[in-house]
Amino acid sequence: MTDRPLVAVLDYGSGNVHSAVKALDAAGADARLSADRGLVMDADGLVVPGVGAFAAVMAALRGIRADELIDRRLAGGRAVLGICVGMQVLFERGVERGADTEGLGQWPGTVTELDAPVLPHIGWNTVQPDPGSRLFAGIEDERFYFVHSFAAARWELTPQPPLPSPRLTWCTYGTPFLAAVENGPLSATQFHPEKSGAAGIRLLSNWIGGLGRATL
């Protein structure tokens, strides 16, 4: 038997991390909740969860210098997956209830409040995956579980050849917003795969299956 890929779930004080660890284990990973810098850097994959406010998540990440770890992993082409607010903080900025907060800046753009009649967006929704998506292979028509009031409504990164174009998956709640991004070693979902039943486990399995492959 081959070893299960080691996936670190970043432990920086975010809630609901244990369900993410269980879902990753079910999807085929050896998942470990950790803030140990060596383990976070050496793991085959890193998951950055996120629950709550953009500013609070950024403060907690910077508090353990996780911004540096994420930068270093991505510079080496090593896989990172952001979930919910863990996706939002990958953008340059978040504007939330009057607070304008600098994000990790991996992608250009600003996370803003959804333009929808009822907030938050809670529950199951369909998505429109990019035709070349690896994350959504075999689950293109499934529904996923969302809990959020903020999202990125635009994609502003211009691909630079020879790098491939990012794979963008959209969802509509009031207006369209980014539900998932696959950009080289960096992937993210606005929904919670760990709360999305069999489809979420399959998505995590798809991500785990790509660990160790060339991403650039």
**First-to-last CA distance in the chain?**
28
Q: Encoding tokens for residue 160? A: 């630079």
Q: Where does residue 16 fall: left (phi above 0), alpha (psi -120 to 50 degrees), or beta otherwise?
A: left
Strand order in the sheet with 30-34: 30-34, 6-10, 45-48, 79-83, 186-189, 175-183, 167-173
The catalytic position among 96, 142, 182, 194 is 194
The catalytic position among 121, 142, 171, 192 is 192
Distance from C-alpha of 194 to C-alpha of 205, rounded to nearest angstrom = 11
Q: Which residue has the tokens 């629950």?
A: 51
The neighbouring-strand residues paired with 93 are 102, 110
Q: Reply yes or no on whether 171 is catalytic.
A: no
Backbone torsions φ then ψ of 115, nearest 5 degrees = -90, 85
The catalytic position among 84, 121, 142, 182 is 84
Whether omega for the bond prior to residue 162 falls within 30 degrees of 0, making it cis, is yes
Q: Report, as residue numbers or ranges, the catalytic residues.
A: 84, 192, 194
